[in-house]
Amino acid sequence: MAEWNEKEAELARREALLAEREAQLEKEQAELEARRAQGEVGKKSLLNNNDPNFVNPKEKLYDKFPLSVHQMDIIIGVLFALIVLFLVLGMTHTSFFGLFGG
């Protein structure tokens, strides 16, 4: 019987701690929501002037092509590497086709 009372007391203590933690989490969540709502209103960036219909220019570019963002990033990276290659070859006066034994 004493063990049963100890278990009941332990369960009641755990239940109280859990209720306290849940109340604390709800309070923190409400504070976070309040800060998020306040931060979005006054937050400006270089291109964003608080226009509710603002779309990042990079997203506008990606919307014109039926590719994923990852695929577009790969294509842009390859094109950038080719530009750098031709700039280096131009500065060293090396023929591009000479690289392939031509």
Tokens of 84: 């750098």
Tally of CA atoms within 13 A in the half-sphere of 63 that contains its CB: 6
Residues 59 and 102 in one domain: yes
| pLDDT the model gives residue 50 | 66
Q: Which of the pair, 24 or 47, is modelled with greater confidence?
A: 24
Number of domains within the chain: 2
For residues 85 and 38, state if they share a domain. no
Q: 7: domain range?
A: 1-54
Q: Is 51 left (phi over 0), alpha (psi -120 to 50) or beta?
A: beta
Written as six digits, the tokens of 9 are: 């007391």
Tens digits of residue pLDDT in 54-74: 777 777 777 777 888 788 889
E-assigned strand segments in the chain: none
13-42 residue pLDDT tens = 999 999 999 999 999 999 888 877 776 555
Tens digits of per-residue pLDDT, 72-90? 889 999 999 999 988 888 8
Q: Are residues 66 and 98 in the same domain?
A: yes
